Structure 1
Amino acid sequence: MPHRQTAPGRPPLPVGWRRFAARLPILLFRWGLGWVFGKRLLLLHHTGRVTGLDRRAALEVVEYEPTDGCWIVASGFGPRAAWYRNLRAEPKTVIEVGNRHHAVTAHFLAPDDGAEIMARYALRHPRTARRLCTFMGFPSDGTDAGFREAGRAVPFVRLDAGPGSRLP
């Protein structure tokens, strides 16, 4: 089964039909069907660091805080993921949630914050959290300590919407 190489300890990047399946949510967002995902996925627009071209990535929403207007996402492929590095270079961007666009600013969270976020995520989605830990190469013993360890290693990003951030 072919895979593209990634950093040691990180899951391989998908190729072939797995890549198509991973990118299918992007197509659905482009076709105006983002509402299918509810608030579980968002589409991140980001600008390529080298090319300056508009890029898109569909990401799972780890946490959503409606009162603050912020979404928390994680880079399962680590800090080398293209979208993560592009946000580091240009943190102001746009996301789509459902069929709504929001102007946001990316804030990169500390490892201890990531540990707390992953522990809360595991309480809400225990089976998914165990599968994610296994996929990313972390112990999946299902304990709070195991989830916190994984959370410290995974880069988390908070996307904060400014006042009046909803775009037409």
Structure 2
Amino acid sequence: MRRERKQRAKIGKNKSSTGVMLRAAEQGKLDGRTIAFCVAANLLYDLHGFRRRRIYNFLEKCNKEAARFDDSGLQFVLKVYADRIVEKFNDLLLMEHPADVVEHIYCNQRDDFFISSLALMFTVLNGEYGMAFNQKKTGRLDVMLEYCANEYLKLQLDPDGHDVAWYVRQTREKTGIII
């Protein structure tokens, strides 16, 4: 955590054109993680009855899993979930047309971290809460994947209206969680 914060500060001081791209990439990472958590928290609140304390506990469990991100067993599970998420998102046949290179870098990082964060959350939901996919596409994680795909579609179609601030505000209003 400290290393990331230190690196963000170093990137913030870089005034070159490379620094602009690095800042866009860093902002994309943060936004992707935040949007993924907000989407998951909203669905867990609405559909599965998670309230503030339970969502905080879920977030703590996600943070513990993220700490062992380099573990090969966890990497295998994350890859399975990430592949399923990417497959679902590719079915949407959506192409973003960023205005410039910096926006393109931001969008790529945001989408990558959105997918990896969702994969991590699916791993925790499966392991800790017993949620899973099933063959009929009616499992609790199937429903969550469908909801995340719909939110991803909203994010792609209206990037100005459905930005990080909108997701954070919606989550705060719905769950009372301050992010």
**Is TM-score (shorter-chain normalized) higher than 0.5?**
no
Shorter-chain TM-score: what band?
under 0.3
Q: What is the TM-score of this pair, normalised by structure 2? A: 0.25
The structure where helix makes up a greater share of residues is: 2
The structure where strand makes up a greater share of residues is: 1
Larger radius of gyration: 2
- Larger RCO (alpha carbons 8 Å, 6+ apart): 2
Q: What is the TM-score of this pair, normalised by structure 1? A: 0.27
